[in-house]
Structure 1
Amino acid sequence: MNVASLELQGVIQSAEGKYEEAIKTLESARQKEEDLGYSEPPTYARPVLISLAEAHLKEDRFDKAEKTYQELLKKHPNSANGIWGLYKVYKQTNDHQKLHEYQEKLNEVLRQGDKSLFPL
């Protein structure tokens, strides 16, 4: 519950434009999530890394957003959220080569999924 509470606080702070506070709160949630040593349920519905990367992206900290999404993909290689996040990073940084690469990856992952959740 503490992880979820901290994540919610961080997401609210980010939505309010309080990015520095949001990132600190989300880093704390991330650490607590890792300290648990397990996920309950087995794959947490929404890893804190997604919210942390989104906060970095909103603050135009593209290098940190990219690093955080990459970390998510190390843990969950077929995460549509991670691939979608990198797609957004590369779109905002005008990296057309990587943008195309992640568009293709997302299309592959979503072959059987709901493509409307990730509008390319």
Structure 2
Amino acid sequence: MSKTTRVISVSIPVSDVDAALAFYIDVLGCELVMDVEAWPGARYVEVLPPGSSVGIVLLPQDSEIPIAVRLGTTDAEEAHDRIRASGVELHNDEVLRWEGVEPMFSFEDPDGNGLVYLEDSSDQTPGE
């Protein structure tokens, strides 16, 4: 059975990505991990706080990229099937497989909090 491996990142909504990026880097001392256009019009900016392995994703409030906690899983396909079978409504009918991105899908917990599972290729699986 697939398992959750770790928290990869947490996204937060921001009104101005550039201003937020400056704050997180210049004031909080975070380092820039990624600043890319995930698809046309969808900017994905991630910073990493000093000493942390969990990134903070700065997303415009109207972003199509989900505001969510991004979790690693050992097997995205099996996790997708298991979560769907539990009755949870998934945002993706199938696991998303985009070039250069780990297999992933999104859903919400019972309280409406956004979650994204990404197949975790790291060696940071707890308990191993």
Name the TM tier (shorter chain): under 0.3
Look at both structures and tell me which one has the larger radius of gyration over its CA atoms.
2
- Which structure has the highest strand share of the two? 2
Task: Give the structure, 1 or 2, with the largest relative contact order (CA under 8 Å, sep 6 or more).
Answer: 2
User: What TM-score, normalized to structure 2?
Assistant: 0.24
